[in-house]
């Protein structure tokens, strides 16, 4: 196996390595547009950022000739197989559909992005194969599959995600996005955040995957990147869908949809639902903004096992992420701090609930008076960008998140 060098090589080197089956002019234009030598994400430059070039024969052997019993998933981009390398390492191998939605340019973007970016909440790329017309990517194997696998259409024998695990996943995914938006320079706009692209390890630590649609964000005086609209229906920010103007706030909106899925256990868009409930956002909107009915959002599979106040705070965070005006959505850095507050209030199973005698959700973070009081939490605060700037200092995040502490 040969080593694929990082972004410090010149355009002609990248063109040589990916020349099989790709038009050099198209590749050159893509590399020029990324401006990698000048604009490569800086945190990864100081690290070892090598990926191996596998042969098709090696990956066919790893998957037993792409046997269906090793199939992990399938989508418009192609198939993902579980594989075993000669070293014994277990990997996930994505075989791109030659006639699918992810073309050679998207393949190159994903390889370059994952080589340059390193974070505990981003999936690791081990290597690639660009042999003839074949395009394959080799990732670390995530044994628990995707978040989607644990939220929707669960078989009777599968245990649903509990409240604390859902919050853990939300916090980790938010930290991955914060790295892309606020640490990397220029920022990276993920553009395809959805529950199917959040993968989970054995301990349910989340990692973002599938960077084929990622774009470098605006720098300097530019406020957005103009591009053709791409993404997944139900997760795409309406402002981006209508204008084609891409900003990091588009990712914030998509993250709000994922939060809503975590809260409700419902898909972003579900044609099997009756009219009026097919769109998750349309169905949830009146509940998110009703302080007396927000508990109706909770996934029935939680069986009332969640802290009421933390659920309310999470509903507030979700509502702000889904704001129709992108400049009023919080930054992902704000969201992480807010979710850390939610995570600091885990659900603790009471003794009377362990023996089945409990009558409903009781939060250990409410006082006795709070638990007896049937009145709803205070009205959700209105987050305004002008009066609540998203900035940090030694005293902590001042702006959106201090309001949550008072709920």
Q: How far apart are CA 369 and CA 121, in angstroms?
A: 40
Peptide bond into 186 cis (omega under 30): yes
Please tell me which residue in 162, 192, 299, 334 is annotated as part of the active site. Answer: 192
Place of tokens 């972003």: 268
Distance CA 332, CA 335 (A): 5
192 is catalytic: yes
Please state, in angstroms and as integers, the Cα–Cα distance from residue 249 to each residue in 114, 187, 239, following that order.
Answer: 22, 12, 10
CA distances from 186 to 173, 177, 215, 219 (A): 20, 14, 10, 6
- Residue recorded with tokens 């070293």: 87
Residue pair 84/92 in contact by the 8 Å Cβ criterion: no
CA distance 6 to 9: 7
Q: CA 263, CA 163: separation in Å to the nearest integer?
A: 9
168 labeled binding residue: no
Q: What are phi and psi of 44, to 5 degrees?
A: -85, -15
Which position has the token pair 């000669």? 86
Q: Centre a 10 Å sphere on the Cβ of residue 320 and count the other Cβ atoms it contains.
A: 24
User: Which segments are annotated as binding site?
Assistant: 94
User: Which segments are annotated as binding site for ATP?
Assistant: 94
Residues marked as catalytic: 192
């Amino acid at each position: 196996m040969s080593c694929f060098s990082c972004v410090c090589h010149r355009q002609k080197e990248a063109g040589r390595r990916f020349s099989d089956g790709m038009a050099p002019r198209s590749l050159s234009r893509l590399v020029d547009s990324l401006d990698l030598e000048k604009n490569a994400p800086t945190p990864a430059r100081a690290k070892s950022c090598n990926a191996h070039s596998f042969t098709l024969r090696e990956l066919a052997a790893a998957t037993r000739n792409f046997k269906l019993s090793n199939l992990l998933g399938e989508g418009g981009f192609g198939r993902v197989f579980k594989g075993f390398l000669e070293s014994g390492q277990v990997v996930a191998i994505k075989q791109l559909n030659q006639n699918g939605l992810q073309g050679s340019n998207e393949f190159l973007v994903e390889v370059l992005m994952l080589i340059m970016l390193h974070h505990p909440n981003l999936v690791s790329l081990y290597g690639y194969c660009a042999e003839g017309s074949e395009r394959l990517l080799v990732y670390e194997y995530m044994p628990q599959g995707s978040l989607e696998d644990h939220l929707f259409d669960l078989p009777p024998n599968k245990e649903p995600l509990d409240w604390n695990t859902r919050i853990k996943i939300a916090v980790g995914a938010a930290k991955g996005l914060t790295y892309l938006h606020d640490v990397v320079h220029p920022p990276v706009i993920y553009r395809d955040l959805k529950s199917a692209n959040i993968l989970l390890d054995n301990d349910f630590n989340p990692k973002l995957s599938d960077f084929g649609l990622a774009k470098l964000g605006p720098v300097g005086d530019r406020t957005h990147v103009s591009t053709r609209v791409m993404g997944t229906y139900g997760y795409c920010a309406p402002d981006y869908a209508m204008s084609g103007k891409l900003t990091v706030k588009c990712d914030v909106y998509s993250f709000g949809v994922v939060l809503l899925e975590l809260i409700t256990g419902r898909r972003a868009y579900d044609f099997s639902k009756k009219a009026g409930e097919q769109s998750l956002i349309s169905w949830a909107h009146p509940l998110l903004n009703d302080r007396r009915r927000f508990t109706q959002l909770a996934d029935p599979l939680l069986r009332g096992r969640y802290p009421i106040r933390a659920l309310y705070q999470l509903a507030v965070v979700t509502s702000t992420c889904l704001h129709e005006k992108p400049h009023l959505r919080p930054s992902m850095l704000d969201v992480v701090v807010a979710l850390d507050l939610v995570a600091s209030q885990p659900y603790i199973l009471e003794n009377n609930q362990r023996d089945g005698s409990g009558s409903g959700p009781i939060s250990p973070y409410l006082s006795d008076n709070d638990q007896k009081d049937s009145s709803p939490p205070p009205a959700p605060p209105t987050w305004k960008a002008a009066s609540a700037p998203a900035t940090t200092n030694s005293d902590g995040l001042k702006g959106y998140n201090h309001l949550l502490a008072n709920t």
